[in-house]
A and B are shown apart, each in its own frame.
Chain A
Amino acid sequence: MMQGQAVSSSMGNKLSAVGRGAIRIEEVVKIYDPEGAAVMAVDHCSLDIAAGEICMVVGPSGCGKTTLLNAIAGFHSISSGRIYLDGELLCGPGRPKAEPGADRIVVFQNGALFPWRTNLENVAFGPIVQGKLSRKEAYEKARGMMADAGLSGTEHNFPGEISSGVRRRVEIVRALMNDPKVLLFDEPYRALDSLTKSVMHEALLEIYYKNKVTIFFITHDLEEAIFLGHRLAIMTTRPCRPKKVLEVDIPHPRDYSVLTSPRFRELMDETLEAVHEEARKAFELGEKEG
């Protein structure tokens, strides 16, 4: 269990104890359609994410932050630059596209539980297809992990039968089944109402405290970003690159009382201006194109 005081005083030390899941993004450039329109989505973006850190990537919709996530996950290639995971090259010169793998699992914006599999079958999917566990062992482990996450009783339901909040939790458990180094969140709570969102945030932190993973979390919700993150990387709009990186010095574990604390408000004020400027730029860009 992580202790509050320890985080605030020596966050770096505490995090390095996890020892795996450090991401290094080095001068990454992504240009869409280089022969034709040559749209620069990511421009010489560098970012270091410590092992076990929750790094919140904040920026207006369409600013290019998802491109970065897709590059780490191995869905898209990059035009130049390098991305490392724990010192190993994921993609870089001569290898523009990373191989997707179970060490970096994405939790998708609209949820990607397979609707044709029950929740239990979804959670057990990873180890079975990788041939790591037999079907029976995988189901047993899945049952245990679902119980730990408070999801008992939903094992034999299909994802379409449970609320969207519960679906997100099942999806996170499905990822954790594979003992990943990194979880990549692509605005997963975007479609949820604010009340469900607040419950989801606490549940996510609870899961994080139990399973130490690095979290790369994309959002445009500033409150969400400050509440969850160790650090915020505020991105510029098209092309995307960190404009400001901010340490959130509110100790973990956190709960919802943090939202009303004076420090939280200060951090909000500090970031709001930077984010607002980018949001305005994105809006104007959108208007020109529209």
Chain B
Amino acid sequence: MNVSLVAENVGTSEAPASSDPVVALLKRTMPFQVVSDDMLKRIAALARRATYTRGETLYRVGDRADDIYIMVSGRVEHALGLGSGARTLNQVMSSGDVFGWAAFLKNVPTRLATTTCLEQAEVLMIKGDDLIKLFESEPAAGDVVMSRFATMITKDFTLPEELAQVLNIPRRGEKAGLSGLALTVYRAALWLKSPKPYLMMVGFAVFLSFWYFAVEVWQLPRFKEMPGLTAVVKEWLSEDPAYGLSIYTPEYYQHIWVSVRRVAIAFALATGLGVPLGLFLGWSRTFREYVFPIFETLRPIPILAWVPLAIIMFSGSETPVIFLTFLASFFATALNTMLGVESIDESYTRAAFCLGANRWQVFRHVIVPGAMPYIFTGLQISVGVAWFSLVAAEMVSGQFGLGYVINTSYTMVRYPTIIIGMVTLGAVGYATSAMVRIVGDYMMQWRVRELALGGQ
């Protein structure tokens, strides 16, 4: 390391200030940017120049901190050590950067980082005490410089980084694919730690015991004819069920499979057609004027009213059921997507036009992602109504499926099987709805994180 006094290099005071390279450099640095030239000259007079070769250490953690450093050329790197749980945060400094602010700290100041030279570096060093003395004599300028130093130090400890660590949210980077899953796992772990699962269990316990007591113990009027809790559970778990359906019979799974398959096909069709339709309804005013009135006339027609037409239109027993299931889903998806497009703040589309996007790019980069939260709300509703209309359709036509099970069990007086069918529907319906939510969270991490920061 070589040190020389800069003061020797400072030109005569008549020369324009900006021609002095030290003053010019100081002017480029963040803390000294707004200081008057006169003051900069006085600061420059305090500076010493030093050069370091590659690999040399400027200072280590714990060293006495005397000087503030200003990079002239070359590059140095900090390895930050914070107490015992030292963490490396590699920060590279280059020309015009200021570091070593620990020299401003009162009482015996020590270095918080180890700084090494990455490539041949030239720095200016100014004694922290000298600088403080100068500022005390010029409080107005000193105050400005110190407040800018404070801003700079704050930036060194960037908040979002810390926040992300505290919240344990993986930052989106190269491993973007993983972070969605990690986030879901994290949320599940958080849920298990909260009192929510226990409250939920208490709720279920109260509900089931009421069922048990009302039907089997107290035999309340209206409840007497209902299959009791124990009867249903026994039937459900029986290897040889009295009415032919339990978790041990393959028919049980066949019914579930048939229903799930129908919902899956109908839901996929409804999404594939409903989302684009909704997007165009929201985006193009002309298109909406053509289509929306028809849409609004068809939408309120109950699914059951479509049954005869569905049977006339489609042959076989499978397609009419899928058509009916699709129909309700489709309306819910398209309507919510359209509302999603309408909900987008006009500023976003205007900003995109300002930034040079054409109409198609605005559609792709603003309308589609902007409507996404509404689209997924719509899809969750749509899965729900898909199950709803599926059961209605299966009761009318079809030979398999959970709706069919419930309907035939009623006509054939297999009361416990009705309950088995209903509970299975509830569970499977809940699972599909949860899947839609997970996919939504995965695709809209920005929203999940926004809500997470809002404490939700």
A residues less than 8 Å from B33 (CB atoms): 206, 253
> B410 interface residue, CB < 8 Å from A?
no
A116 close to B446 (CB less than 8 A): yes
For residue A160, which residue of chain B has the nearest CB?
A: B450
Which of A81-89, A123-131, A238-246 lies at the binding interface?
Answer: A123-131
B residues less than 8 Å from A194 (CB atoms): none
For residue B355, which residue of chain A has the nearest CB?
A: A126
Q: How far is the CA of A125 from the CA of B355 in the complex (A)?
A: 7
B residues less than 8 Å from A153 (CB atoms): 158, 160-161
Nearest-CB distance from A122 to chain B (Å)?
A: 9
Nearest-CB distance from A139 to chain B (Å)?
A: 13
Q: A116-B446, A161-B449, A199-B151 are in contact. Are A106 and B158 (CB under 8 A)?
A: no
For residue A159, which residue of chain B has the nearest CB?
A: B446
Q: How far is the CA of A161 from the CA of B160 in the complex (A)?
A: 7
> B366 interface residue, CB < 8 Å from A?
yes
B residues less than 8 Å from A118 (CB atoms): 172, 446
B residues less than 8 Å from A162 (CB atoms): 159-160
Q: How far is the CA of A199 from the CA of B150 in the complex (A)?
A: 12
A178 close to B172 (CB less than 8 A): no
Q: Is the interface of A mostly helix, strand, loop or mixed?
A: loop
Q: A156-B172, A156-B173, A158-B446 are in contact. Are A129 and B356 (CB under 8 A)?
A: yes
Interface centre among A109, A117, A161, A202 (most CB of B within 10 A): A161
A residues less than 8 Å from B159 (CB atoms): 162-163
Interface centre among A73, A110, A153 (most CB of B within 10 A): A153
Within 8 A of A (CB), among B195-243: none
> B106 interface residue, CB < 8 Å from A?
no
Partner of A1, one of B18, B30, B140, B445: B18
B residues less than 8 Å from A161 (CB atoms): 160, 163-164, 449-450, 453
> A157 interface residue, CB < 8 Å from B?
yes
> B307 interface residue, CB < 8 Å from A?
no
For residue A177, which residue of chain B has the nearest CB?
A: B355
B residues less than 8 Å from A154 (CB atoms): 158, 160
A174 close to B355 (CB less than 8 A): yes
Q: How far is the CA of A176 from the CA of B210 in the complex (A)?
A: 66
A101 close to B354 (CB less than 8 A): yes
> A62 interface residue, CB < 8 Å from B?
no
> B285 interface residue, CB < 8 Å from A?
no
Nearest-CB distance from A205 to chain B (Å)?
A: 9
- Proximity bits, B335-374, A CB within 8 Å = 1, else 0: 0000000000101101111111110010001100110100
Q: How far is the CA of A109 from the CA of B347 in the complex (A)?
A: 9
Nearest-CB distance from A192 to chain B (Å)?
A: 16
A residues less than 8 Å from B171 (CB atoms): 156-157
B453 close to A160 (CB less than 8 A): yes
Partner of A106, one of B143, B351, B361, B449: B351
B residues less than 8 Å from A1 (CB atoms): 18, 27
> A112 interface residue, CB < 8 Å from B?
yes
B172 close to A129 (CB less than 8 A): no
For residue B33, which residue of chain A has the nearest CB?
A: A206
A114 close to B161 (CB less than 8 A): no
Q: How far is the CA of A156 from the CA of B172 in the complex (A)?
A: 6
B144 close to A255 (CB less than 8 A): yes
For residue A115, which residue of chain B has the nearest CB?
A: B446
Within 8 A of A (CB), among B399-456: 444-447, 449-450, 453
For residue A205, which residue of chain B has the nearest CB?
A: B34
Nearest-CB distance from B276 to chain A (Å)?
A: 19
> A93 interface residue, CB < 8 Å from B?
no
Q: How far is the CA of A15 from the CA of B183 in the complex (A)?
A: 52
B residues less than 8 Å from A50 (CB atoms): none
Within 8 A of A (CB), among B18-42: 18, 27, 30, 33-34, 36-37
B residues less than 8 Å from A202 (CB atoms): 34
A residues less than 8 Å from B37 (CB atoms): 3
Nearest-CB distance from B100 to chain A (Å)?
A: 18
> B193 interface residue, CB < 8 Å from A?
no
A residues less than 8 Å from B155 (CB atoms): 150
Interface centre among A104, A157, A199 (most CB of B within 10 A): A157
Q: How far is the CA of A157 from the CA of B361 in the complex (A)?
A: 23
Q: How far is the CA of A50 from the CA of B366 in the complex (A)?
A: 34
Within 8 A of A (CB), among B118-157: 140, 143-144, 151, 155
Q: Which residues of B contact A (CB under 8 A)?
A: 18, 27, 30, 33-34, 36-37, 140, 143-144, 151, 155, 158-161, 163-164, 171-173, 345, 347-348, 350-358, 361, 365-366, 369-370, 372, 444-447, 449-450, 453
17 contacts between A and B (CB under 8 A): A105-B354, A110-B347, A111-B347, A116-B447, A125-B357, A125-B365, A129-B361, A130-B357, A150-B155, A154-B158, A156-B173, A157-B160, A158-B445, A158-B446, A175-B354, A253-B33, A257-B144
11 more A-B residue pairs beyond the given contacts A157-B164, A160-B449, with a C-beta to C-beta distance below 8 A: A101-B354, A106-B354, A108-B347, A114-B370, A129-B361, A150-B30, A150-B155, A152-B158, A154-B160, A255-B144, A256-B144
Report the 8 A-B pairs with minimum CB-CB distance, sorted nearest first. A160-B450, A153-B158, A112-B347, A112-B351, A126-B355, A130-B356, A116-B369, A102-B356
Q: Which residues of A contact B (CB under 8 A)?
A: 1, 3-4, 73-75, 100-102, 104-106, 108-112, 114-118, 125-126, 129-130, 150, 152-154, 156-158, 160-163, 174-175, 178, 199, 202, 206, 253, 255-257
